[in-house]
Structure 1
Amino acid sequence: MAQQGRGRLDDAEFRRRVDELKERHPLSGVVGRAVKLKRAGREHQGLCPFHPEKSPSFYVNDAKGFYHCFGCSAHGDVVRFVMEREGCTFREAYRRLANDDLPTWTPQERAKAQAEDRLEDLAKEQDARRFYADAMPVAETEGRAYFRARGITIDLPDTVRFGMVPSWRNKETGEWGRKRPAIICGAQDGTGAVVGIQRIFFKNDNPALGTKDCKLSLGTIRGSALRLEPPGPAVILAEGPEDGLSLMQEGPGLPVWVPFGTSMMPAVVFPPEVRRVFVAGQNNTAGRVAANKAAISLSERGLEVRLVWPAATFDDWNDQLRGAAR
Structure 2
Amino acid sequence: MGRHSSRAAELSERLAANAHAVCRHYLPAGRREGRYWMVGDVAGTPGRSLYVRLFETERGTIGNWVDAATGEHGDLVDLIRLNQRHGRLSDTIIEAERFLSLPPSAPDDDTTAAVFTKPARAGSPIAAKRLFAASKPLSGSLAATYLRSRSITRASHLDALRFHPRCYYRANDDDVPGTPGAFPALIAAVTDNEGAQTGTHRTWLNPTGSEKAKVASPRRAMGNILGHAVRFGQADDVLIAGEGIETILSLREVLPTMPMAAATSSAHLAAILFPPTLHRLYVARDRDAAGDAAFGILTDRAQAAGIELMSLMPELGDFNDDLRDHGASVLGQRVCLLLHEHDRTRFSNDSD
TM-score between both structures, scaled by the size of structure 1: 0.62
The SS at the match of 1:319 is: helix
What amino acid sits opposite 1:132 in the alignment? F
* Counterpart-to-counterpart distance in 1, 2:209 and 2:311: 32
Q: Deviation per CA, 1:125-172, whole angstroms, max 9, x where unpaired?
A: 1111111111122112111111011111113311011113212399xx
* Counterpart-to-counterpart distance in 1, 2:155 and 2:214: 20
Q: State yes or no: 1:197 paired with 2:193.
A: no
Q: Deviation per CA, 1:186-232, whole angstroms, max 9, x where unpaired?
A: 00013211110010012x44422356741111110012111112223
Instruction: Provide the aligned length of Structure 1 versus Structure 2.
Output: 241
Structure 1 residue ranges without an equivalent (≥5): 1-21, 36-45, 47-57, 81-106, 171-176
Q: State yes or no: 1:128 paired with 2:105.
A: no
* Counterpart-to-counterpart distance in 1, 2:203 and 2:302: 27
**Which of residues 21, 36, 40 in structure 2 aligns to 1:59?**
36
Answer whether contact 1:137 1:160 (CA < 8 A) is retained.
Answer: yes
Answer whether contact 1:227 1:258 (CA < 8 A) is retained.
Answer: yes
Q: State yes or no: 1:112 paired with 2:99.
A: yes
After TM superposition, give the deviation of residue 291 of structure 1 in Å: 2.1
Structure 1 residues 227 and 121: CA distance shift in structure 2, 3 A = farther
**Which of residues 182, 204, 212 in structure 2 aligns to 1:179?**
182
Q: Deviation per CA, 1:1-59, whole angstroms, max 9, x where unpaired?
A: xxxxxxxxxxxxxxxxxxxxx99964475223xx4xxxxxxxxxx2xxxxxxxxxxx33
Q: Between the two proteins, what is the percent identity of the paired residues?
A: 25
Q: State yes or no: 1:162 paired with 2:166.
A: no
* Counterpart-to-counterpart distance in 2, 1:127 and 1:71: 15
After TM superposition, give the deviation of residue 306 of structure 1 in Å: 1.4
Structure 1 residues 270 and 289: CA distance shift in structure 2, 3 A = closer
Q: Which residue of 1 aligns with 2:147?
A: 147
After TM superposition, give the deviation of residue 181 of structure 1 in Å: 0.9
* Counterpart-to-counterpart distance in 2, 1:259 and 1:30: 27
Answer whether contact 1:150 1:210 (CA < 8 A) is retained.
Answer: no
After TM superposition, give the deviation of residue 182 of structure 1 in Å: 0.6
1:1-326 to structure 2, matched below 5 A, reads 26-27=26-27, 30-32=30-32, 35=33, 46=34, 58-60=35-37, 66-67=51-52, 76-77=66-67, 108=95, 112=99, 124-156=124-156, 157-163=158-164, 164-168=166-170, 178-202=181-205, 204-209=206-211, 213=215, 214-251=218-255, 253-311=257-315, 314-323=316-325
Answer whether contact 1:200 1:212 (CA < 8 A) is retained.
Answer: no
After TM superposition, give the deviation of residue 261 of structure 1 in Å: 1.4
Answer whether contact 2:23 2:37 (CA < 8 A) is retained.
Answer: no
* Counterpart-to-counterpart distance in 1, 2:132 and 2:38: 26
What amino acid sits opposite 2:143 in the alignment? G
* Counterpart-to-counterpart distance in 1, 2:37 and 2:162: 31
Structure 1 residues 78 and 158: CA distance shift in structure 2, 3 A = closer
After TM superposition, give the deviation of residue 238 of structure 1 in Å: 1.2
Structure 1 residues 193 and 109: CA distance shift in structure 2, 3 A = closer
Answer whether contact 1:149 1:210 (CA < 8 A) is retained.
Answer: no
The SS at the match of 1:268 is: coil
Answer whether contact 2:132 2:189 (CA < 8 A) is retained.
Answer: yes
Answer whether contact 1:145 1:210 (CA < 8 A) is retained.
Answer: no
Larger RCO, structure (CA 8 Å, separation 6 or more): 2
Higher helix share: 1
Answer whether contact 2:204 2:212 (CA < 8 A) is retained.
Answer: no
The SS at the match of 1:221 is: coil
The SS at the match of 2:198 is: strand
* Counterpart-to-counterpart distance in 1, 2:252 and 2:30: 42
* Counterpart-to-counterpart distance in 1, 2:68 and 2:291: 23
Structure 1 residues 180 and 122: CA distance shift in structure 2, 3 A = closer
